[in-house]
A and B are shown apart, each in its own frame.
Chain A
Amino acid sequence: SQTIHQWPATLVQPVGSPLSLECTVEGTSNPNLYWYRQAAGRGLQLLFYSIGIGQISSEVPQNLSASRPQDRQFILSSKKLLLSDSGFYLCAWEDLTDREQETQYFGPGTRLLVL
């Protein structure tokens, strides 16, 4: 069965510091991968998605970047964090075995607080 991991679970970082959040998927190959951010009490906003190694699409201009160095690894980064980067970051993978349904399954998330 497929599983998705994210770490760290919680992170407190000072403004201006770098960031690296990691997401890995097991039990599937060549999945579509996604990074979402959720502000407190709100729905999710798509930040980046990837259909393959080295292929990244950005949905909104921001202080963040994403990379996919391996098939089942997706990394979210920042060189200098802003206060507005605080939030709950969720990674998701898409089940491509059913081309009509395209369900996304989410990881446990990382809570980031920038002070």
Chain B
Amino acid sequence: AQKITQTQPGMFVQEKEAVTLDCTYDTSDPSYGLFWYKQPSSGEMIFLIYQGSYDQQNATEGRYSLNFQKARKSANLVISASQLGDSAMYFCAMSFYNQGGKLIFGQGTELSVKP
């Protein structure tokens, strides 16, 4: 079965420190994409970063990086130098190239950045 698991319902981090949000996935399909989205209190889902299953290097986008460990089936999001505006829900998601782009989401992690 294809599944995304986020085991941290809530996380706290001090402003300017780094934080890692965990994501593990389960699939037997060799071709897939992994995504992280941010959902602030307004509700809009904001795309942060993407990692393809065949990518050799970990993806980075500004302060966001994805720690991709394929053998362990994990795709953790690392946010460096946390800012107050980073407080939000964060969702890990997975898609498969032969399934019409369907995204499977985890349950999310609520991140709170403390001043």
Q: Is the CB of A94 within 8 A of B44?
A: no
Q: Is the CB of A44 within 8 A of B52?
A: no
Contact partner of A94 among B43, B52, B101, B108, CB < 8 A? B101
For window 31-52 of chain B, which residues contact chain A by CB distance below 8 Å?
Answer: 33, 35, 37, 42-47, 50, 52
Q: Is the CB of B106 within 8 A of A109?
A: no
Interface check A23, CB cutoff 8 A? no
Total chain A interface residues with beta-carbon distance under 8 A? 28
Tell me whether chain A's interface is mostly helix, strand or loop, or mixed: strand
List, in ascending order, chain A residues with CB within 8 A of B102's CB.
Answer: 46, 49, 59
Tell me whether chain B's interface is mostly helix, strand or loop, or mixed: strand
Give min CB distance, A47 to chain B, whole Å: 11
Interface check B25, CB cutoff 8 A? no
Q: Is the CB of A49 within 8 A of B45?
A: no
Chain A residue nearest to B107 in the complex (CB): A43
Interface check A32, CB cutoff 8 A? yes
Q: Is the CB of A101 within 8 A of B105?
A: no
Chain B residue nearest to A6 in the complex (CB): B44
Give min CB distance, A88 to chain B, whole Å: 6
A interface residues with partner B (beta carbon < 8 Å): 32, 34, 36, 41-46, 49, 51, 57, 59, 88, 90, 92, 94, 100-109, 111
